[in-house]
Amino acid sequence: MYTRHMSLRREYELPADPVIEWYKKDVDRTLLREHLKLTPQERLEKLVAFMRSLETLRISRTAR
Amino acid sequence: MTPDLLGLLRVLSEAEVRYIIVGGVAGGMHGALRTTLDLDVVYARDRANIARLVAALAPYHPYLRGAPPGLPFTFDETTVMRGLNFTLTTTLGALDLLGEVTGGGSFEQLQPFAESAVVSGFQCSVVTLPKLIALKRAAGRAKDREALAELEALLEERDNPTP
């Protein structure tokens, strides 16, 4: 099942790490695929916008 | 304070500082979803580059992060030449300046593993995704394991997308 990923690890000389593999099961790949459609600039802008939103939420929470 | 990541990158790039983005921002530029609150860059240690770096950051009051105020710390060329890695606060946000990075070495050693990106009209260098994974693996920190899982899944999806 994971043959394609195993060959990828070989290509980049990344030996399998059982802990990382364990965590990998829970990675939401649908979001990653969406992000891969963006340019690096769009990804960075999205990250910055998200951080600003978080900060706004934090401020509004402490202002109550 | 929300870090002004784009502002920090713009300041470094406009001053023609030679640097490579590593860490969480590099992950974000490759498509990772984890947020980060600081910018990590590996900078070139030649005298001219250090002069540009110091001059570029001076207006943003770089100071040692976590240190009590009032220490006799001056972010100047002598300080940077004598030191190597600096974890700083600036008025634009937290900035980690790395003269060397575990698993990647100096700027010159990391340069073959960097790629260019244009962000808001300015050019910057970011470490490649496979090398970023190698750096995080080399750091060997337990807290990075979850981040590594996301980065490796990202690499799999990028290079060999799920049909």
DSSP state string for B14-41: HTT--EEEEHHHHHHHHT-----SEEEE
- The whole-number pLDDT of residue B28 equals 92
**Cα separation of A63 and B20, whole Å?**
39
Q: What is the pLDDT of residue B142?
A: 85
Mean pLDDT on B54-73: 93
Query: Does any CB of chain B come closer than 8 Å to the CB of residue A18?
Result: no
| Cα separation, B24 vs B93, whole angstroms | 14
Asked if residue B9 lies in contact with residue B99, where contact means CB atoms within 8 angstroms, the answer is: no
pLDDT at B161: 72
Note whether A43 contacts B145, CB cutoff 8 Å.
no
Tokens of B155: 């690499």
How far lies B135's CA from each of A10, A29, B70, B102, B151, in Å? 17, 22, 35, 6, 12
Q: Which of B150, B159, B162 sits opposite A8 (nearest CB)?
A: B159
Report the pLDDT value the prediction gives residue B107, as an integer from 0 to 100: 98
Residue A37: the pLDDT is 93
Question: Residue B28 to residues A18, A32, A38, A61, B103: CA-CA distances in angstroms?
Answer: 24, 11, 11, 26, 20
**Interval B81-129: pLDDT, tens:** 999 999 999 999 999 999 999 999 999 999 999 999 988 888 999 999 9
Within 8 A of A1 by CB-CB distance, chain B residues are: none
Chain B nearest-CA distance from A14, in A, is 7
Q: How confident is the model at residue A7 (pLDDT cuts 50, 70, 90)?
A: low
Q: What are residue A6's DSSP bridge partners?
A: none
> What pLDDT is recorded for position A2?
47
8 A C-beta contact, residue B129 and residue B151: yes
- The beta-carbon neighbor of A31 closest among B29, B33, B36 is B33
Kind of pairing between the strands at B63-64 and B86-90 = antiparallel
pTM of the model: 0.89
**What pLDDT is recorded for position B21?**
96
Q: Tally A–B CB contacts below 8 A.
A: 105
User: Is the ipTM reported for this complex over the cut 0.95?
Assistant: no
Q: B5-146 domain in CATH 3.30.460? A: yes
What integer pLDDT is reported at residue A60 of this predicted model?
77
Tell me if chain B has a CB within 8 Å of the CB of A29: yes
Closest in B137, B153, B159 to A29, CB measured: B153
Average pLDDT over residues B12-41: 93
pLDDT band at A16 (very low <50, low <70, confident <90, very high): confident
Strand bridging mode B122-127 / B114-119: antiparallel
Domain ranges, ordered by start, for chain B = 5-146
